[in-house]
Amino acid sequence: MTKFRDIAVNRRATYDYEILERVEAGLVLMSSEIKSIRDNRVNLSGAYAFPQNGELWLQNCHIAPYPSAVRDNHEPLRPRKLLLRKDQLRRLSETAKQKGYTIVPLKIYISGHYAKIQLGVGRGKKRFDKRRAVAERDRRREAREAERR
């Protein structure tokens, strides 16, 4: 049985974007990066993925430098290559090129010995959509509380 452990969750992504599809991808990392990820030193806010030259890259994902790696430390905001199957890569690239769609990281987690990232294909929400989503969430919460009584 594979053990999953969430490292970082991008809660803002589900607030700012309507997530249409979720995809799991691998990450190409340096040794100091995986050690920092295992120490929960990751920030996904403002991160996004973009296609370039037939590959998918993760940009603006902050992985803090590993304190013990003095000499061979990594740059915290460097672009990181994402590993996907060809059909997934093609589908995500076509979707990302459409106006209004973006690929946002939803969470980074450890699966077995590997760091994985869950990507979401999202369409940006307008301000009134966000208000409607908050009102809907409040309505559901009140209904659950009324059920418990």
Residue 1's pLDDT band (cuts 50, 70, 90):
very low
- The total number of structural domains that make up the chain: 1
Task: Look up the domain containing 30 and give its range.
Answer: 4-148
Q: Percentage of residues in the chain with pLDDT exceeding 90? A: 20
pLDDT of 31-66, one tens digit each?
A: 888 888 888 889 888 888 888 898 999 999 898 888
Name the average pLDDT for the chain.
Answer: 86
Pick the more confident residue, 78 or 69: 78
**CA-based nearest residue to 8, from 49, 48, 56, 45:** 45
Q: Could you tell me which residues come within 8 angstroms of residue 18 by beta carbon, excluding any fewer than 6 positions away? A: 122, 123, 124, 125, 129
pLDDT of 111-139, one tens digit each?
A: 888 889 999 998 887 777 778 888 888 99
Taking residue 149's Cβ as centre, other Cβ atoms within 10 Å add up to 4
Contact between 83 and 28 (Cβ < 8 Å):
yes
pLDDT given for residue 16 in this prediction: 82
E runs forming strands in 13-52: 17-27, 42-43, 48-52
CATH at 120: 2.40.280.10
pLDDT of 76-120, one tens digit each?
A: 888 999 999 999 999 988 888 888 888 999 999 998 888 899 999
**CA-based nearest residue to 48, from 58, 37, 56:** 58
Tokens at 101, concatenated: 């769609």
- Spatial distance between the Cα atoms of 18 and 74, rounded to a whole number of angstroms: 33
pLDDT given for residue 2 in this prediction: 57
Say whether pLDDT at 29 is over 80.
yes
